[in-house]
Every structure is written in C-alpha cells, then in structure tokens.
Chains A and B, each alone.
Chain A
C-alpha cells in the first residue's frame, strides 16, 4: 500500500510540473503582450524606451526559461508573485479573495444539490418507472442539457426583471445568492440524482438485498440502511470530481451575475494575459484535480486490494 501511494504521488507531481510548463509556454506563445493592453490608450506619445522600461519592471525582458525558473522558485517559497494588470497587487491576495467567494457559492450549491438529489435519486431508483421516477429522469435530463448561461439569463429575466423578487446581479445581500445558487445547484442536482438513481438500481439487484428482504426487513429499512449506504460511494466520487472541476461551471455564472469569483478572475486574466494570475490559478486547479484523483485512487485501493496489486 505504501509503495502504491508513493508511486501515485510521484505520478501526480510529474503531471503538475508538465501542466505548469505547458501553461507557461502557451501564454508566452500568444503573439501579444500584457503591456500592449495596459498602454492601449496612450499610443500618441508612448515610445519604445517607455515600453522597454515597463517590460523590465515586470521581468518580461528576460528569456522565458529564466522567467519560468524564477516563477517556479518563488512559488515553491510561497511567493505567488504580483499581478501585471493590477500593477503590483499580490496574486495571493487576489486569488484567495476570489476563491472565498466561489467556495461559498459552490459550497451552498453543492450542499443544496446533495440534500435534494440524494433522496430523490433513492426514491426514483426504489420506485422505478413510477410517476416520480419519470419526473426525476425528465428533470435530470433537462438540468444537464440546459446550458448554464441561458438558464442564468432566463432566471434573471423571470425572477428579477418580470417578478421583481430578486436582484439581477451582485452578492451584496443574501438575496443576491439565490439565483446563482439556483442555476449552479440545478446542474449539480441533475448529475447527482442521475448517478444516485443508477447506483441504487444496481445495488438493489445484489444478493445481500434479497437476503435483507428475506430477513423480513421493511422496504424502507432495506433501501435506506442497506442499499443507499452502498450506493452513496459512487455519488461521493462524482461530488469529489465536481468540486475539482468547479471552474467549468462557475465561469459563466460568475460573469452573468457579476460575482467577483475565481472563474471570472481566471477569464479576465486570460484575456489580458495577466501571466502570474493565470499560472497560479491553473496550478491550483491542477493540484486540486491531482489531489482528488489521488484520494480517490487510494480509497479505491484500500477498499479493493486487486487495484493495489495491478
């Protein structure tokens, strides 16, 4: 088990390093430079020497491999560098602030999604082909199929513009969280409910469930205590992955609802080539994915010895 863990850990570290190098190179291959965006409105008098001085200020005049080593060295020492676009604001400050917003938003969304999706999935699976099951399957398919950005705009048009119940954007008050959470939770809920339903169906066909029935246990006890517990494992895995891939869902929601989260920071930074910020966020995401993968692998290996050997 120890050898296996070390192997998986090293594997993860190699992936992290490769992604860092790739991100660094791709950003530098774009035939443009963040300074061009910064000085855009000033071209009437700006001269080459002014541009050169700004490049030197940010170390952009050095060869890229040197820039990479400086960056890597700083990251290892816990110095995340400074944002070029915000001219000197520490990246750590920007990322931590934005990450807190996104964590709150997705935390609430996933919690609500779990609270609704798991019982619904259990009922849907246990009462297969019932009206509720059809409703659930239909709702879940719709929830996965509807694009986030469209749902978000429709939610604003209905609940803010037409009904005037909720603010159209911003999270200055708790009401502001309702629509973005609704949009994010709907998507997650659909995914979790489908997985839970499928998993329950699978478990219900197992021998030990028949045994439980044979023991004379009530239907509810069989489903909740025996089937649901085992079926939960697959849902937990999915939840872990959804957390690791959080950015994919939140970018559109954060842009539309004007929420200053990590997804929007990432988008803005890419468009303006804010090298340090993009690199840091990519690094954090890769670490997150690798860690979630690692934990999943280790849990599986712990549960199923066959994986360890192979």
Chain B
C-alpha cells in the first residue's frame, strides 16, 4: 500500500517534471521592468481619479476592487470571493477573500470596503464618482469578511459601477485624507508606488505579498509621451514595451504587420454615428431614417476614410461586448434602390433640383462636425455624397464641440457626427435614449424603450437584464434614432519580449488594467 502511494507520488513528480521540460521556454522568468507609454498626464492615483486608460493603468495596478473587468470584458470577482443578491434586489451580500494584505502589511477587511463606499458616496466629499453610490441606503459589516449593502431601490448598476471601485485602506486614507492619498496611495494591488511624476512617469514595484502571488516582473513604469509619432519610434527602438494609447493609423497598421510585435486589434466601445434630431419634420418618419442607413455604404466608408480599421455597427452596442451585443437585429446592407423605394413610400418625391420634397419641405439638413476634426470631416463628405445619390441634401458646417453638444441637447441643431458610447460594460443608456434622459440628443421618444430602460436599471439578474438590452437593440436597429456607422479598431502592439500575453482579447486596454501581474520578460 505504502509502496503504491509512493509510486503514485513519484509518477506525479515525473509528470510534473516532464511538463516543466516540455514548456521550458514558457516558464515565467522573474525580474526586469516593463515600460508602458501613455499620452496624458496622470492627474492623481486615487479611485476618484477617473480619466483615460493611462491613469487607470496605474490606479488599477496599485488597487483592487471587489469585482474587476478582465481583458474579455467579463466581470471577475477579485477582492470578493462571491456575492449574492436578495430576491427583492435590495440587499447585496459580498463575501470577501481572506489573507489579502495592503502594501503596508495591514490585512484587508470589510471595514475598508464600507469606508471606501461611504467616503466616495458622501456628498460632502464632492467626489467625481459619487453618482455610483446614490442608491445606497446603508452598509453593514457583520464580520471582517462580509459586507452587506442595503439599497434604497434595486440598482443593477451597483455591481458594474460601484463594486468595481478600487478599495482604499481605511486606517491610512482616514489619517492622511483624500488630497494626500491621491499622491501616495496604498492598495492591495500587485504593484506598489515608488515614484510619481504626473507629467513624466510613474514607477511601480512588485508587491511581494500580493494575494495572487508576486508579479513576475520587478518594476512597471508608465512613461507619459504626448506625441503619437514619438511613442511609435520609442516602441520601434525597444525603449518601451507597449503603448496604452494608440498611434496614428499608419503606424498602428505597420506594427500590426510587424512580426516583432504582437498586436491586439479590438473594437472600440463607442459607436461612430450621425446623431439626428428625430423631432425635425424631415426625420419624423422612421422610413426616412431607415433609407439613410440603406443609402450608406459603410464598408466603403471604413475602407476609404479609415484604412479598413473599423467594423460596421449593427446596433448601439459594440460587438466587443459579447455578453450584451445582440447579433440578431435588423441589418442595413448597402442598397440605394431600397433607400429610394422607402423614401417614395414615405411620400418624399424628387423635386426639380434633385432633392426630395414633401408638403413643401425639402429633405435637407445641416450636419455639425467638430471644429478642426480632420479625422471625421472626410467621413462627413462621403456621407454627403451617399445621401445626395438618393435625393437627400446634407450641408456640412464646422462648430466647436461644446456648442454642438449644447445645441443638440436643446434641439436647436439638426445633426452631428461623433463617437460616443451607448452603453459600455455598464449597459444602462438611460440618459441617452430615455425620453426624459438629460443627453437624449436625438429627442427620441419611444414608450417601450422608456419602459425597458427603467426595468434595466432595476433588474439585478444578469440574464434577465441582458434580455432587456437585447430588446432595446432590436428597437434601435428598427427605429434608427441615430445613424450607427462603425466601431473603430483599437490597436495595442506589444514588444514580443513580453511573455504571458493572452492569445486573444476583446479589449486590448484591459490587458494593462487586469493582467500586468501575470506577464514576464524573456530576454
């Protein structure tokens, strides 16, 4: 009997050894520095310093949240082992992971979670992320590893927004205050802060006692390099391993084709679209809006204006959001004949100047492009050509961004062209599509969508919640409250000396935010 168990143990060892040999080159190596480049200064390092991904790259590697988004945009429990929601949706109970230490050696407990949520949710502190906690009634900590959140009303965004807020240590944050904390944070994350120069670089060092194990690399440095061309040259030279913010399109495509680099090409979450005021007499009939979709050769637009680096949009949700994206909605393949037929059917007849007319109103409108927007101006010009071909006149004018936003919200402007999220990893788009939403620039009112949006906020069950947002996408695709064009490709190229990168990712940005402690350097 004894001999047999010894034999088994021996066999296990031999197998492990063989596996080790087989995977020889893929054994993580310890040491070295990974250098990332950002385009933008890191204004502060607390959970309240929401900003571009480059700032998050530092904050998220220093801190952890109860729930975090991985590189495939799935929610992963990190500081929480698990959570459960009461049937009435009013109580969320988080069970915390044990044995987690902050960088100063203090254990992480439920008191830190309660403190973080209460501090940033307190109106007196005027935090930027305060909106995440507005539905919280009170927070209880029955023991060190349990947090019970009581909500005033069911709020599905609590899990996607509030629970992804990074946790600060109560004993330290309370002592030094938010102003100091932003410059000298202490978290549970895989890296701790060594030196921070907002406009120059941020240097982090591996935290030996990180609960998921010490990172393989010793240092992680984020250099701030505003100029895209200089970032590209630095990556080319091997002075940096990756750029958090992409380069110019030509450089992006060049690195993607270069075998010395591994490039993640992922769809952006913000839809490139023409926002139209659906209250205008020209746009009130949905057949006109559908006709504009059929009239547009979006693939040609992508190929000619954006060098092919984008994917056609079918709804308001990016296909990168695999969980929320509804692939079964109505499609609008390029078909100018169908567009003309729809316009005829809607009573818009071609006038003497080639522009359609109905009830003495010409099918004409003015599009506002942001002043100096050289990227989207050619797109607007191509659209003008597509629409003209079916008898719709689109005039183009350049207007400052803030003026466009104000005018669209007030309903005094006809249309604008930009990229904006209609629900990202948090799918709620209440303020943009609800008839009472503060940013409903389409001035669109659809009773069923209003009802669904209200339900979506309250629905705590993920599967049921998905069904709600799938139905909204079906309605959006059918009704066309705005002309959805494409999702731009997002490029992240890595020097291949960095190992341990995933084969694929649905969000290249989240590799910087979620996976840095699993990477290593192969010299």
Chain A residues with CB under 8 Å of chain B are: 30-32, 38-50, 53-54, 56-57, 85-89, 98, 153, 156-157, 160-161, 164, 167-170, 172, 255-260, 264-265, 268
Contacts and interface: CB of A to CB of B under 8 A. Distances in A.
B223 A170 contact: yes
Interface in B96-134: 123, 126, 128-132, 134
Contacts of B406: 31
Given A160-B237, A255-B227, 10 more contacts: A42-B132, A43-B439, A46-B130, A54-B126, A54-B128, A56-B126, A87-B44, A169-B223, A264-B199, A268-B41
B227 A258 contact: yes
Contact of A50 (B131, B400, B401, B402): B131
Given A54-B128, A168-B239, A42 B50 contact: yes
B227 A45 contact: no
A32 B371 CA distance: 15
A89 B197 CA distance: 13
A260 B199 contact: yes
A254 B325 CA distance: 43
Contacts of A89: 44, 179, 183
Contacts of A86: 43-44, 198
Given A44-B426, A169-B225, A32 B161 contact: no
A31 B407 CA distance: 11
Given A50-B130, A53-B126, A153-B230, A258 B44 contact: no
A268 B43 CA distance: 11
Contacts of B229: 153
Interface residues of B, number: 49
Given A54-B126, A169-B230, A170-B201, A87 B223 contact: no
A163 to B, nearest CB: 11
Interface of B: 41, 43-44, 48-51, 123, 126, 128-132, 134, 157, 161, 178-179, 182-183, 197-201, 223-227, 229-230, 233-234, 236-237, 239, 400-403, 406, 426, 428, 430-431, 438-439
Given A164-B237, A168-B234, A258 B179 contact: no
Nearest to B180: A88
B128 A39 contact: yes
> 10 closest pairs, A vs B, by CB?
A260-B199, A32-B402, A45-B131, A46-B131, A57-B126, A260-B200, A258-B225, A31-B402, A53-B126, A88-B179
Contact of A265 (B123, B128, B199, B428): B199
A43 B237 CA distance: 39
B41 A258 contact: no
Contacts of A160: 233, 237
A258 B231 CA distance: 10
Contacts of B183: 89
A22 B439 CA distance: 32
A60 to B, nearest CB: 11
Contacts of B131: 42, 44-47, 50
